[in-house]
Chain A
Amino acid sequence: MSEDLNTDRHLTIARSMAEAIEQQMESDPNVFVMGEDIAALGGVYGNTRGLLEKFGPERIRNTPISETAFIGATVGAAQDGMRPIVELMFVDFIGVCFDAIYNNGAKNNYFSGGQINVPMVLMTAVGGGYSDAGQHSQCLYSTFAHMPGMKVVSPSNAYDAKGLMNAAIRDDNPVIYMFHKGLQGMGWLGTEPGATVATPEDSYTIEIGKAKVVREGTDVTIVGLAMGVHDALKAADKLATTGVSAEVVDLRSLVPLDRETVIESVAKTGRLIVVDEDYNSYGVSGEIIATVTEHDISKLKASPRRVTYPDIPIPFSRHFEQFCMPNADKIVDAYQSMVKGAAVSV
């Protein structure tokens, strides 16, 4: 469980996900993977690369483009005692298979009074920034986090990606594992170099539901997940040049949500900015801000701010999309407007 970073092995998130799956499949014959293009191709994002060669087509199963059926089948196999992993190529495709997830997988433990567990992992690609338009760029974090019965994680770097994947496979509940395309290490999508980090070969887990303070500071807490963490770290660098000390919290998990770490950080800094690439309203940012204000509003020296995606379908045109995306400059602006006490437009 300790973070042994004494390794020179720098992995991409894609490689670290594949390694975690490989190690779990070696030790547990009940683990198998299904999804579109995951076998010979190794997954569109490389999450299963090399696994077909090692485990064969029975355990690394290409599926038809039939999400309703194969994600339903994932729920059924999990309930029957296996630990399936399924890839939904883009989270945007959830529309045709959501019933299996939120009405079956997420509820059957409860409906059965705990007789039936659903130990499945749904790994799915999220995020935009590369002009893939409104059906291939969404995050939809809060859509999953909102509905009870699913754990939800989203790593910002390869070390966490491996530990969270291991934890997700071992978990007796459905875990929605949301990997951000811009962090995968796939050059053809563009990639954030900060996501490729030292990652031990030995298997380890990161507890689901634990956030991490990835940069300590005293003047403002910036909370984010996945790509938002990298935006926050860049903003913290910029703020540091003006003498502002920003603390950055990587949520890592949305369900369970580590409210304590956020509350503790804000208690120290007195200011809160939440970064979220998901739509602004009814989302992660609102939940984090509500958590802090409900707990003890007197800890806040200023109204909290959010840097989020506006409530519009994601546009194709690059300059439209970039105009809408959260970024480090917007976080710095949010801080400056916050300390001036400027009103937030509604």
Chain B
Amino acid sequence: MKPSKSTLLWMYETMETSRRFEEIIAKIYFEGKTPAFNMTNGPIPGEMHLSNGQEPVAVGVCAHLAKGDVVTATHRSHHQAIAKGVDLNRMAAEIFGKETGLSGGRGGHMHLFDANVNFGCSGIIAQGMGPACGAALSRKLRNQAGVAVSFIGEGAANQGAFHESLNLAALWKLPVVFVIEDNGWGVSVSKESSTSVERNSVRAAGYGMPGHFVEDNDPIAIYEAAGETIARAREGKGPSLIEIETYRLAGHFMGDAEGYRPEGEKDALFAKDPIPQMSKLLLDEGHADEAAIAELQATAQRRVDEAIAFARESEYAPEEEALTSVFA
């Protein structure tokens, strides 16, 4: 199932929005952190895991999801949040720790929650997989529409939760799709030196579900694999696993010197940057002309600028508010 023209344009605009968002976050992140890098300082303190390069995964999968479908994501989730339709202004404000943020500054960039679009993420590897099974079970038990998608990294495929969740989902035939964003690196440790199989998609067979592998960060192939598996889940045929070869164009977190990368790896990855590739595809296949591309870029930039301005202008909540929201 090929994406329609309007879907392709949405995918491109969303990829641009995500990338431009990350680029401005990266710039602001260093405010107050030079000359000496100390992550405690600046308007965006703490850790920052950028999604640059991984945009095709987010748009290829989320193109098939409605507001009511559930997504669980990881510490590196800005692209997925944007593609799932998380309120960008409130997301930016959360990353700044402001009162207008998604959770008023309590969660920050690793804990983005937007109940309006059923999106949540967590900083503990693979631990969104069980909750995704639970959301899928809830829909199944209540005979309600909707699927759950759990995004994880390739490092998470070596966690117990991965294996337990695949078994449970298949056993109970849950409407859930597990998506591995394989960017090749778990912090500084390569997939080859941490994983006993070359392809994590083969692990699906051990749990009685289909496993798909999509190579080279291809947004169209991702769209197709996601479409097939999500449709399967919606039809009540059970879960699937998709492994996607993607690329982390940034460090594990900002400030990561990336000395562990083989020489030339980053250059080779930048040469395969999916954003210009996607605009070229739109042009080559006649879905958009230069002017239309420029307009999509401008729309993306405008949304990002508005979100950042909203975050900058928002206030911090009164500090005693920190003590609220512990219980319902």
Judging by beta carbons under 8 Å apart, are A312 and B105 in contact? Answer: no
Q: Nearest Cβ in chain A — how far from B175, in angstroms?
A: 26
Q: Nearest Cβ in chain B — how far from A60, in angstroms?
A: 13
Which residues of B sit under 8 angstroms from A64, Cβ to Cβ? 155, 158, 186, 189, 194-195
Which residues of A sit under 8 angstroms from B322, Cβ to Cβ? 310, 312, 315, 317, 320-321, 323-324
B111 within 8 A of partner (CB): yes
Q: Which of B101, B107, B160, B321 contacts A66 (CB under 8 A)?
A: B160
A130 within 8 A of partner (CB): yes
* Contact A135-B111, Cβ < 8 Å, known A65-B186, A95-B124, A130-B46: yes
* Contact A62-B107, Cβ < 8 Å, known A93-B124, A311-B326, A317-B316: no
**Majority DSSP secondary structure for residues of B touching A:** loop
Which residues of A sit under 8 angstroms from B161, Cβ to Cβ? 96
Judging by beta carbons under 8 Å apart, are B158 and A136 in contact? Answer: no
Which residues of A sit under 8 angstroms from B37, Cβ to Cβ? 187-188
Judging by beta carbons under 8 Å apart, are A320 and B187 in contact? Answer: no
Q: Nearest Cβ in chain B — how far from A305, in angstroms?
A: 19
Chain A's interface size range is 35 or more
Residue-wise, chain B 17-44 has the 8 Å CB interface mask toward A (1 for contact) of 0000000000000000000111111000
A40 within 8 A of partner (CB): yes
Judging by beta carbons under 8 Å apart, are B317 and A317 in contact? Answer: yes
* Contact A133-B111, Cβ < 8 Å, known A310-B323, A313-B326, A323-B320: yes
> Considering the complex, which residues of chain A in the window 110-158 have a beta carbon less than 8 Å from any beta carbon of chain B?
129-136
Q: Which residue of B lies closest to A311 (CB)?
A: B326
Judging by beta carbons under 8 Å apart, are B255 and A188 in contact? Answer: yes
> Considering the complex, which residues of chain A in the window 299-321 have a beta carbon less than 8 Å from any beta carbon of chain B?
310-313, 315-321
Judging by beta carbons under 8 Å apart, are B189 and A36 in contact? Answer: yes
The number of A-B residue pairs with CB atoms under 8 Å apart is 143
* Contact A44-B321, Cβ < 8 Å, known A130-B45, A311-B326: no
Residue-wise, chain A 64-88 has the 8 Å CB interface mask toward B (1 for contact) of 1111110000000000000000000
B60 within 8 A of partner (CB): no
Q: Which residue of A lies closest to B41 (CB)?
A: A190
> Considering the complex, which residues of chain A in the window 267-325 have a beta carbon less than 8 Å from any beta carbon of chain B?
310-313, 315-324
Q: Which of A62, A130, A312 contacts B40 (CB under 8 A)?
A: A130
Q: Which of B106, B159, B160 contacts A316 (CB under 8 A)?
A: B106
CA of A82 to CA of B52 in the docked complex: distance in angstroms? 43
CA of A188 to CA of B124 in the docked complex: distance in angstroms? 22
Q: Nearest Cβ in chain A — how far from B221, in angstroms?
A: 27
CA of A136 to CA of B193 in the docked complex: distance in angstroms? 25
B209 within 8 A of partner (CB): no
A189 within 8 A of partner (CB): yes
Judging by beta carbons under 8 Å apart, are B187 and A132 in contact? Answer: no
* B contact set with A: CB distance below 8 Å: 36-41, 45-47, 94, 97-98, 101, 104-111, 122-127, 155-156, 158-161, 186-189, 193-195, 255, 259-260, 316-317, 319-323, 326
* A contact set with B: CB distance below 8 Å: 36-37, 40-41, 44, 62-69, 92-93, 95-96, 129-136, 187-190, 310-313, 315-324
A-B contact pairs, 22 of them (CB 8 A): A36-B186, A37-B188, A40-B188, A41-B260, A64-B189, A64-B195, A67-B159, A92-B124, A95-B127, A96-B159, A130-B46, A132-B47, A133-B108, A133-B111, A134-B111, A136-B123, A188-B39, A189-B39, A315-B108, A316-B107, A316-B110, A319-B97
Knowing that A41-B260, A189-B39, A316-B110 are A-B contacts, what are 4 other residue pairs whose CB atoms are under 8 Å apart, sorted by A's residue number? A62-B194, A131-B46, A136-B123, A189-B38
